[in-house]
A = this chain, B = another copy of it.
């Protein structure tokens, strides 16, 4: 069994941003030299997420609007009594999930035709990290 670990760092210019990281996960997989196994891609923060969906700008705008409808910014969350203002980002993280697990077959991410991995930043403008862990043989 082999294990390969990489960390990506993101520093967005806006509070919320959606970044396609499929190429970077594939690059990590090539370095791992693993043919059969599992890849975990996970935000190391509680105000960011990782999800799998389509690389289509209209859809990304829909996702952003939808997340802010279901977990709105600007609400007077109890979490804000600590001095934070990012209660919405915590809830968006819980809604979208912070990690995905991707099967690896014959040295490739075993995805369907439209599946892409995204990093979803909900409280950006500072360094945030993602871990890629690939395990297999």
Contacts and interface: CB of A to CB of B under 8 A. Distances in A.
Interface residues of A, number: 57
Contact of A94 (B63, B99, B135): B63
A46 B54 CA distance: 7
A96 B80 CA distance: 21
Copies of this chain present in the complex amount to: 3
Given A79-B59, A100-B99, A114 B46 contact: yes
Contacts of A66: 71, 91
Interface of A: 1, 3, 5, 36-38, 40, 42-46, 51-54, 56, 58-59, 61-63, 66, 70-71, 77-82, 87, 90-91, 93-103, 105, 110-112, 114-115, 129, 131, 133, 135-137
